[in-house]
Amino acid sequence: MNPVLEVKKLSRYFGGLKAVSEVDLSIAPNEIVALIGPNGAGKTTFFNCITGIYEPSEGEVLLHANGTTTSLNGKKPHAITALGLARTFQNIRLFQEMTVLENVMVGFHCRTSAGIMGALLHTPAALREEQETIDQAYGLLRSVNLHNSYAAKARNLPYGAQRRLEIARALATSPAVLLLDEPAAGMNPFETRELETLVQRIREAHKLCVLLIEHDMNIVMSMSDRIYVMEYGSCIAEGTPMEIRHNPKVIKAYLGEESHA
């Protein structure tokens, strides 16, 4: 099957540091792919390059969605999101002072169109669109089980709930590919298990593919279809969870890290 997202020989340098070097990656429709690697391996930098926050130093990122192929190189983050790539952040970046519902409503921005005039004159079209946005946002909140706190301020949510809110907000942009940066970080085992089913449900319901960075090996092994392993900026292995588990390079990279820790 044709991939949805295709990354070719992507590199990103910071001065002399090769944070990401020549990484190839592709995701097929409906796939859950994990990106793992020790701290500082360059995983987040890789995300930032795909989503336009950093410009890649070399390489190409292609998105095949809605029947067209678009190169994401040199595009601004908002344009990339509009094309169908949504993400969450490792260090939660919610709109803290806004309510939970409003956070998700912001995600609908690029899929709605009411302008200044519509807002000031309260045109029927603008009001209808707003009510639709509110209802859809509430629906998304229910799918991550946050609908009961829809009127709370985002910053008053517990940590795990904030992570789920970030996912709901990303879903509001109707992505073709969802990028999750350590969604289970800071969650307790119960929440982590819930997250696993949540991600799987999202994939089915929204017909999207997921690329996730995660340190928790249990969920990585049990939920992903394929795994990429990064170390010092390069991709050192790629394969099914089974293959990765027995890959000597990966074992070495991880054991090496553990003995340092």
Partner 1 sequence: MFKTRIIKALLAALWFMVLTFPIVGIQVNTTARNINWRWDRIASMGIGIFVLALLWNWCFERKALGLPIIKKLPDSFHYSFNELQNRPLFKKGLPIAILAAMLLMPLVSSIYQTNIMISAMVYVILALGLNIIVGLAGQLVLGYAAFYAVGAYTYGLLYHYFGLTFWACLPLGGLAAVIAGFLLGLPVLGLRGDYLAIVTLGFGEIVRLLLLSQGDITGGPRGISNIPRPSFFGMKMTLDQVTNYTYYLVLAGVLITILVISRLKNSRIGLALQALREDEIACEAMGINTTRIKLTAFMLCSCWAGFAGVIFAAKTTYLNPASFTFMDSAMILSMVVLGGMGSISGVVLAAMLLILAPEYLRAFSEYRMLLFGAVMVLMMIFRPQGIIAGAHRDYHISENIREKASPEDEEGNADSAERASA
Binding site for partner 1 (CB under 8 A): 51, 53, 76-79, 81-82, 86-87, 89, 93-99, 101-102, 105-107, 109-112, 114-116, 118-120, 122, 126, 129-131, 133-136, 138-140, 142-143, 145, 147-148, 150-151, 153, 169, 171-173, 194, 197-198, 201, 204-206
- For the bound state, the minimum distance from the C-beta of residue 182 to partner 1, rounded and expressed in Å, comes to 16
SS3 content of the chain, % helix, strand, coil (to 5): 45, 25, 30
* Cβ count within 10 A of residue 106: 17
Q: Let me know: does 101 contact 157? Beta carbons within 8 Å.
A: no
Q: Which amino acid is at 202?
A: I
* Contact of residue 42 among partner 1, ligand ATP, Mg ion, none (CB under 5-8 Å per partner type): ligand ATP
Q: Which of 11, 26, 44, 149 binds Mg ion (CB under 5 A)?
A: 44
* Cβ count within 10 A of residue 221: 16
H or E element that contains 104: helix 100-107
Alpha-carbon distance of 65 to 118, in angstroms, equals 31
* Contact of residue 187 among partner 1, ligand ATP, Mg ion, none (CB under 5-8 Å per partner type): none
Alpha-carbon distance of 226 to 35, in angstroms, equals 9
Tokens of 161: 């709930």
Residues at the site binding ligand ATP, with contacts judged by CB under 6 A: 14, 17, 19, 37, 39-45, 90
* Contact of residue 65 among partner 1, ligand ATP, Mg ion, none (CB under 5-8 Å per partner type): none
- For the bound state, the minimum distance from the C-beta of residue 101 to partner 1, rounded and expressed in Å, comes to 6
- Residue number of the CB atom closest to Mg ion: 44
